[in-house]
Amino acid sequence: MSYKQQVATSLHAALQKLEIADFSLEKLEEMLETPPNPQMGDIAFPCFQLAKVLRKAPPQIAAELAGLVKSDYLDKVEAVGPYMNVFLNRSLVTAEVIGTIAKEGSSYGNRSIGQGRNVPIDLSSPNIAKPFSMGHLRSTVIGNAIANILEKHGYRPVRINHLGDWGTQFGKLIVAYKRWGDEEKVRAKPIKELLSLYIKFHEEAEKDESLEEQGREWFKRLEDGDEEARQLWQWFRDESLKEFMKIYKLLGVSFDSTHGEAFYNDKMDRVVRLLEEKDLLVESNGALVVNLDEYEMPPCLIKKSDGATLYATRDLAAALYRHETYDFAKAVYVVGNEQRLHFQQLFRVLEKMGYEWAKEMYHVPFGMMLKDGKKMSTRKGQVVLLEEVLAQAIEDVGKVIDEKNPQLANKEEVARQVGVGAVIFHDLKNFRLNDVNFSWEEMLTFEGETGPYVQYTHARACSLLRKGGYRADTPDIAEGALDSSEAWTVVTLLNAFPDVVDRAREQFDPSQVGKYVVDLAQAFNKYYANVRILAEDEQIKHSRLHLVSAVVTVLREGLRLLGLAAPEEM
């Protein structure tokens, strides 16, 4: 039970003494606040909402409650105006928080609410034969972090890479390859060569409109199972996936399934048939749609007038397949904000089909990755390639290591961990719905709110443990060793970690963890700057190193949840 929960429990008991039953434990816990100034206490309870019930002024209620709220963990409770302020017993809380982290290690903050149930997570999903750009990074790292967070809470994430491996663009690419392609060049550098062919097709199509029609014809041949078209498509897909896997390996992201759009080609007729059986299909201008008027949404287009199925049909087939395959507790789609309406329609159609499990499907939208404030475009060649960014980041970090710590062991490995971590953290420190502007300077600095800053703080803390000859088997905290305000700030942050992870899971928001590890790193560095950790007195030194060890454990776990490594030396 957290200290907030304990205060809420004590408050609940106090209100019962006052014969007030309007506030549940959960409600009281939600009402508790963290005062803006630590001198005002550790937890505050505003009494405004009680004023109506008790018909008393909030300051009077605060004074009454201050005399009733009691717990071993509380040092004092005082009323300040309309607030009841609670001061925790610092020595008791410090010893308990540090002891809990020492005992639980990386399991600190784990929950079992998922009960081992599956959660398919649709993430990354790049288009075959196109480069893995910075634009694809967001879905990949946000989705992977959400998977890690869900796993920490007892769910079994199923990472699905729903590859964009179908559509008219493949007809265009086949035309481009047959006209201007070179097999050896494609085999040597598949993504770059296929991208240049794709861009060339669109440049030439502006001069020769017949190219677009040829692209449509070749895609029709592909749909009909034409041998040449099928072989070229399979080759483009295989080569692209090989290139993508190199990037995923660098990012530390793996998948349980790479079933893309093409996998559902033979599963869409069933969807149409089910919709017909449930009398949900309506004809509209020759097309077949599901009306969603009752949700104040435009109709969901299922089949075009020419008989072609659409994204919605395919995603309905994918949803049915995933539920039947994984019997999921929830299903999560980490897909850009521009697809919001599509997913709202998808979930409503499934509900109209009578599937209760559709209520546990979530679209997790995110903003765009911008370059110079503008959206990136593959078609126009205005794109920043993720592979090049990662390579450059690793190289830049390598130069810093050569300059600052040339004797560092495993220099290449640390450069990779920090360079890749910088790119991932640059994204995840931002609330996912915000657009992110690609910035080298902001990404790679070892100061401020960056991945390298947090990783360096972790390495510095590890160095202190080594220098101090830290032994985990001496758990007692010496009296007065951790009495500083800087130490208490670190302890309160360490105590907050499980709640932070909880919020991140509930809101599908890894930035909660991103902001938290920055706050913890900053608090620890302030502690390091103001308190002599490696004190001459052995007991005091080891007491302070217990706190350092707890910081190492929680920073490492926070970074892991985000998909970053935590080097012990930098």
Residues 342 and 437 in one domain: no
Average pLDDT for the chain: 92
Confidence check: pLDDT of 383 > 70 = no
Residues 362 and 466 in one domain: no
Q: SS3 string of 304-358? A: CCCCCECHHHHHHHHHHHHHHHHCCCCEEEECCHHHHHHHHHHHHHHHHCCCHHH
Confidence check: pLDDT of 54 > 90 = no
The region of weakest confidence among 32-46, 336-350, 452-466 is 32-46
Question: Residue 380: pLDDT band by 50, 70, 90 thresholds?
Answer: low
Q: SS3 string of 359-422? A: HHEEEECCCCEEECCEECECCCCECCEHHHHHHHHHHHHHHHHHHHCCCCCCHHHHHHHHHHHH
Question: Where a domain ends, among 307, 338, 371?
Answer: 371
Q: How many domains does the chain have?
A: 3
Residues 361 and 404 in one domain: no
**What pLDDT score was predicted for residue 215?**
93
Its sign, for the CA torsion 30, 36, 40, 42, is: positive
Confidence check: pLDDT of 143 > 70 = yes
Identify whether the C-beta of residue 563 lies closer than 8 Å to the C-beta of residue 123: no
Whether 73 is covered by a domain: the verdict is yes
Residues 397 and 353 in one domain: no
Residues 490 and 362 in one domain: no
Residues 241 and 355 in one domain: yes
**What pLDDT score was predicted for residue 111?**
96
Please give the torsion angle defined by the CA atoms of residues 53, 58, 61 and 62, in that order, rounded to the nearest 10 degrees.
140
The rounded distance, in Å, linking the Cα atoms of 530 and 155 is 41
The region of weakest confidence among 106-115, 132-141, 347-356, 533-542 is 132-141
Confidence check: pLDDT of 441 > 80 = no
Q: What is the pLDDT of residues 159-180, one digit of tens each?
A: 999 999 998 889 999 999 999 9
Continuous segment of H or E residues that includes residue 436: strand 436-437
Confidence check: pLDDT of 155 > 70 = yes
Whether 418 is covered by a domain: the verdict is yes
- Residue located via tokens 């109209």: 352
Residues 550 and 488 in one domain: yes
% the chain with pLDDT above 70: 96
Residues 498 and 407 in one domain: yes
Stretch 65-73: mean pLDDT = 88
Tell me the CATH number at 183: 3.40.50.620
Q: What is the pLDDT of residues 207-253, one digit of tens each?
A: 988 999 999 999 989 988 999 999 999 999 998 898 899 999 999 99
**What pLDDT score was predicted for residue 389?**
87
Question: Where a domain ends, among 48, 69, 88?
Answer: 88
Q: What is the pLDDT of residues 484-517, one digit of tens each?
A: 999 999 999 999 999 999 999 999 999 999 999 9
Confidence check: pLDDT of 440 > 80 = no
Whether 174 is covered by a domain: the verdict is yes
Q: Which residues pair with 303 in a beta bridge?
A: 288, 309
**What pLDDT score was predicted for residue 36?**
87
Tell me the CATH number at 53: 3.30.1360.70
Whether 97 is covered by a domain: the verdict is no
Residues 245 and 344 in one domain: yes
**What pLDDT score was predicted for residue 484?**
95
Stretch 326-344: mean pLDDT = 96
The H-assigned helical ranges of 80-209 are 90-104, 134-152, 168-180, 183-188, 190-205
- Residue located via tokens 């002599």: 532
The rounded distance, in Å, linking the Cα atoms of 266 and 536 is 73
Whether 528 is covered by a domain: the verdict is yes
The region of weakest confidence among 2-11, 141-150, 246-255, 450-459 is 2-11
Q: What is the pLDDT of residues 261-287, one digit of tens each?
A: 999 999 999 999 999 999 999 998 889
Q: What is the DSSP string of 92-129?
A: HHHHHHHHHHHHHGGGTT---TTTT-EEEEE---PBTT
**What pLDDT score was predicted for residue 372?**
65
Better pLDDT: 473 or 563? 563
CB atoms near residue 306 (< 10 Å)? 7
Residues 175 and 65 in one domain: no
Residues 343 and 404 in one domain: no
Confidence check: pLDDT of 381 > 80 = no
Residue 102 phi, psi (nearest 5): -60, -40
Whether 556 is covered by a domain: the verdict is yes
Residues 68 and 184 in one domain: no
**What pLDDT score was predicted for residue 308?**
61
Tell me the CATH number at 533: 1.10.730.10
Better pLDDT: 559 or 447? 559
Stretch 335-361: mean pLDDT = 96
**What pLDDT score was predicted for residue 385?**
77
Q: What is the pLDDT of residues 453-472, one digit of tens each?
A: 999 999 999 999 999 999 88
**What pLDDT score was predicted for residue 437?**
77
Identify whether the C-beta of residue 367 lies closer than 8 Å to the C-beta of residue 356: no
**What pLDDT score was predicted for residue 8?**
92
Stretch 323-346: mean pLDDT = 96
Whether 294 is covered by a domain: the verdict is no
Whether 99 is covered by a domain: the verdict is no
Question: Where a domain ends, among 46, 73, 88?
Answer: 88
Domain with 400 in it: 387-562
Confidence check: pLDDT of 379 > 80 = no
